[in-house]
């Protein structure tokens, strides 16, 4: 992969520090962490290096794996080689102590988000934590004008995309016996929801 082909996310650079603070709080015990929709791999490369007590397993759809491999190769880090995981397909057996996903619930169609929650919860150890970063709505309301505009942009690209309601996400987790343990405010009108 040449340098001009390497995907880069400025947002991932901006939010990795605030996300680390939340993970440090909720991932204190050593364990395995499955990252779903790892994207460029920037989070996996940096966060896994800051949290070396975790066995960090990045995953994404097959097309994204070369970029993730590239990012992981650029810095010393303990992340495992990326795994091909389309949430609609076969999932790794697990179990995992932690699940983490960033900026995926507004990209996946709603039934895929439900599947992601269901399959993830099945593979989450008792006492495990499922952490979801992204923008969310509350009581059907956008939390900012910029999130409203972002949602319009998402829908124009694909009507199946869109910012999800926190209450709906909570309901889906509740169907699998998990409740929302924490809801952290993040910069740029994002949140981290922690389920367990």
Ligand X SMILES: C[S@@+](CC[C@H](N)C(=O)[O-])C[C@H]1O[C@@H](n2cnc3c(N)ncnc32)[C@H](O)[C@@H]1O
Residues that bind ligand X (CB under 6 A): 9, 12, 37-39, 43, 60-61, 64, 85-88, 102-104, 107-108, 112
Report the nearest approach of ligand X to the CB of residue 112 (Å): 5
Pick 55 or 104: Cβ nearer ligand X:
104
Give 2-38 as a DSSP string. Answer: -GGGS---HHHHHHHHHHHHHHHHH--S-EEEEEES-
Pick 39 or 128: Cβ nearer ligand X:
39
Instruction: Name the DSSP class of 85.
Output: -
Q: How many CB atoms lie within 10 A of CB 72?
A: 24
Report the nearest approach of ligand X to the CB of residue 114 (Å): 12
Report the nearest approach of ligand X to the CB of residue 165 (Å): 19
Total residues belonging to the chain: 196
Pick 88 or 151: Cβ nearer ligand X:
88
d(CA 11, CA 120): 25
Q: How many CB atoms lie within 10 A of CB 49?
A: 15
Report the nearest approach of ligand X to the CB of residue 38 (Å): 6
d(CA 37, CA 100): 9
Pick 1 or 29: Cβ nearer ligand X:
1
């Amino acid at each position: 992969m040449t340098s001009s082909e390497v995907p880069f996310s400025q947002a991932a650079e901006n939010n990795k520090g605030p996300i680390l603070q939340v993970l440090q709080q909720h991932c204190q015990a050593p364990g395995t962490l499955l990252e779903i929709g790892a994207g460029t791999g920037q989070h996996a490369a940096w966060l896994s290096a800051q949290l070396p007590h975790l066995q960090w397993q990045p995953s994404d759809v097959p097309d994204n794996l070369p970029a993730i491999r590239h990012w992981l190769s650029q810095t010393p880090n303990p992340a495992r080689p990326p795994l091909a995981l389309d949430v609609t397909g076969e999932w790794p057996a697990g179990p995992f102590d932690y699940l983490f996903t960033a900026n995926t619930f507004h990209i996946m169609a709603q039934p895929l988000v439900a599947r992601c929650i269901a399959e993830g919860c099945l593979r989450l150890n008792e006492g495990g934590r499922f952490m979801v970063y992204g923008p969310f709505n509350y009581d059907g309301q956008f939390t900012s004008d910029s999130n409203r505009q972002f949602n319009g942009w998402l829908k124009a690209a694909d009507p199946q995309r869109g910012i999800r309601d926190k209450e709906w996400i909570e309901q889906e987790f509740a169907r699998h016996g998990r409740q929302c343990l924490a809801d952290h405010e993040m910069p740029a009108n994002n949140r981290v929801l922690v389920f367990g």
